A and B are shown apart, each in its own frame.
Chain A
Amino acid sequence: MKFVYVNYFPYRDLPKDFPEKYESVWVNIPSELYDREKGHVMFNEVIDQYEHAVDAGFDAIGFNEHHGNAYGLDNSPNIMAAHLARKVAKSDKTCLALIGDSLALYNPPLRVAEELSMLDTVTGGRVIAAFPAGTSMDTNFVYGVPPAELRDRFNEAFELIKQAWTRSEPFTFNGKYTQLKNVNLWPRPYQQPHPPIWLPGSGSIETWDYCVKNDIPYYFLSYSGHAKAQTFYDGFWEHRQKLGKDMNPYWAGFNQPILVSETDEQAEKDYAEHVKYFLKTLLHIPGKFAEAPGYRSAESVAKNMVSQFALHGKSRYSSNEFSWKQAVESGTIIAGSPATVRDKLKEIIKSFRVGTITGNFSVGSMPHHLAIKNIDLFSKEVMPHLQGIWDDEYPVVGWPEAAHNKLNKAALIKNSI
């Protein structure tokens, strides 16, 4: 079982009355709400937290990409990962999971192939390349990609990157959106033929169908709780079975905010207000920005509209009134004492059948000391009890070799030129 430390890197200090007073946390959030001094501190604390997570023995640290928002300040996952690359290279086994890189936003997308090759080279083969389509707010409203073109652009960029990593001779790429006369990647990826690829998504069937057919790990991003996630994974595994594919849990991952404290009561005391800030303030996104026309298929959107989950007005992100109990019971978060979190995680790992959990450990307005406490308690009291799950049953797939053979400062030194 693998655990990825993820930090959404939120802006932690929006006004208390933000959801009432402002329209959106994304796209048109006023810049005067950003304090550059606080930003400076937050950036450095987040990097400290990532470093702490490497020392704590996570299997990977993961980075997102968002734009024009206070939900996640990481505009560039590759730049953030670069800060941690050396630390990772010197660690026992920790990898860099680039969960962000929204391929349609890079021009030319070859840039992604290059930067991940650079990171893979620095770390001696510890990069995981996870490519999401990106949210509508990021890709359409802020970065201006026509919504109906997003997935087509993504697919073409994905193709270009795979070719750039694998073709041994310089070649010409004549795409619909990208034309390059001479694709000739230097440096080459350290991992051969290329870093493992994952596709994250929020359940759109096209993506996970593609993953199943091409044996690419899919990992599911959802805030909708465990009931919905269970339905998704049931469908996913049934689909693999139908196609005669193996049932190795490492083909699936799950994304989950995880909050550990000494006791269940203390967890609520420690984290409730920060979770509330996450759900009510950082996910305060109006319908008009949640989904540009064409971002999803017309059929999916229309179905939602018929079931009264209208596009206009309401958002597919906004939640109802905040209640800690409700957030825990629905599975929006996993929180409590080490024993509670262990049991709950064990339960969903088994019932979803997932080999990787990407945990969001720095939630909402959580201050630095609590973020560190959460990392410590999870890595000492929870993670060691769960890492053995699947060990005797399935080989690890979709992870760098370094993650399971503990490569090794020695190898780096031995091979130095």
Chain B
Amino acid sequence: MQTPETIEIPIRGGISKVLVKGEGKPVIFLHGAGGLRWDAYLEELSKEYKVYAPFFPGVAGTTGTAALDLRNLWDVVLYYYDLFDLLGFDQVDLIGHSFGGMLAAEMAATDSRRFNNLLLLCPAGLWKEEIEKRLPSMEGDLSAKLFYDNDSPIAKAALAMPEDPEVLLQVLIESQVILAEATRFMWPIADKGLNRRLPRIRSNTMVVWGREDQILSSEYAYEFQRAIPGCQLEILEQSSHFPQLEHLENVVELTKRLLTADLVRK
């Protein structure tokens, strides 16, 4: 796996960083609260598309939300619009995972014309008491719940930590920063009114979820499908919060199917 290129974008007096790899049609990937890693899913996508994966503000030496004065989700949405403009995208395809899925949904709900195709991988952003009673979101030791089978090579590779204490410290600091930053916009519950805005989405949208998601219940998949006009839904068995790694081939195929579909604006 070749490492992607990191490009730095000056933005609002600060710096944003974006991992870029591949040729072809551009697609943007927004990472979750666990941070951005160039994983097998992004690698596979980069064989067919030019993948742009921005770091959330504050991570990997980028300017953080406090310095950028991003106080709420609306500020974050407009920040990303600025970033996409600087990258030269009037219209682009957008993929978001978990917290990144919530951001992607907010961006599309605010202005769908910017996004032709929208893929939401187990997105955060909805909260219902009856669902939470069955499976509370984001509680306790999350790292143990990310994968359906923690002993699988996929899980082990994804959860592996560096042994060198200096490197480990840096990795842990980064993971704490993104967790704290994402938490800032999802606390105390990840319901900031997205359900009211989802019906505004006009992009060609697909939601993909792991049936056994222990972080965000897959029952929310149906809520997203109900709220977003014409939304496609794929629920994958034997998968928790990383269906794109646990069912790599399948999710890559689904992604391609979505991204190559002819645009029919609803």
Contact = CB atoms under 8 A, between A and B. Distances in A.
Determine if chain A interacts with chain B: yes
Given A306-B168, A312-B143, A292 B173 contact: no
A389 interface: no
B183 A146 contact: yes
Nearest to A304: B172
Interface in B136-178: 139-141, 143, 165, 168-169, 172-177
Nearest to A292: B183
Given A148-B181, A176-B71, A305 B172 contact: yes
Determine which residue in A299, A302, A306 has the highest number of CB atoms from chain B within 10 A of its CB, and name it.
A302
A149 interface: yes
Q: Is the interface of A mostly helix, strand, loop or mixed?
A: helix
Contacts of B175: 302
A267 interface: no
A187 interface: no
Contacts of A145: 187
B168 A294 contact: no
B252 interface: no
By size class, the interface of chain A is: 20 to 34
A293 interface: yes
A76 B179 CA distance: 31
B180 A298 contact: yes
What DSSP secondary structure best describes chain B's contact surface? helix
B187 A302 contact: no
B66 interface: yes
B188 A288 contact: no
A384 interface: no
A314 to B, nearest CB: 11
Contacts of B176: 293, 298-299, 301-302
B172 A294 contact: no
Contact of B173 (A287, A293, A302): A302
Contact of A298 (B140, B173, B188): B173
B169 A294 contact: no
B181 A288 contact: no
Contact of A152 (B66, B141, B180): B66
A149 B180 CA distance: 10
Contacts of A305: 172
B192 to A, nearest CB: 11
Contact of A293 (B139, B179, B188): B179
Nearest to A298: B176
Contacts of A148: 180-181, 183-184
Nearest to B176: A298
Nearest to B173: A302
Interface centre among B71, B175, B182, B187 (most CB of A within 10 A): B187
B172 A147 contact: no
Contacts of A146: 183-185, 187-188
A299 B171 CA distance: 10
A141 B181 CA distance: 16
Contact of A288 (B141, B173, B177): B141
9 contacts: A147-B183, A148-B183, A176-B71, A288-B140, A294-B180, A294-B184, A301-B172, A302-B176, A303-B169
Interface of B: 66, 71, 139-141, 143, 165, 168-169, 172-177, 179-185, 187-188
Closest 7 CB pairs of A and B: A294-B180, A298-B176, A302-B172, A144-B188, A146-B187, A293-B179, A312-B141
Interface of A: 140-141, 144-149, 152, 176, 287-288, 292-294, 298-299, 301-303, 305-306, 312-313
Given A147-B183, A149-B184, A292-B183, 13 more contacts: A144-B187, A144-B188, A147-B187, A148-B181, A152-B66, A293-B180, A294-B179, A294-B180, A302-B169, A302-B175, A305-B172, A306-B169, A306-B172
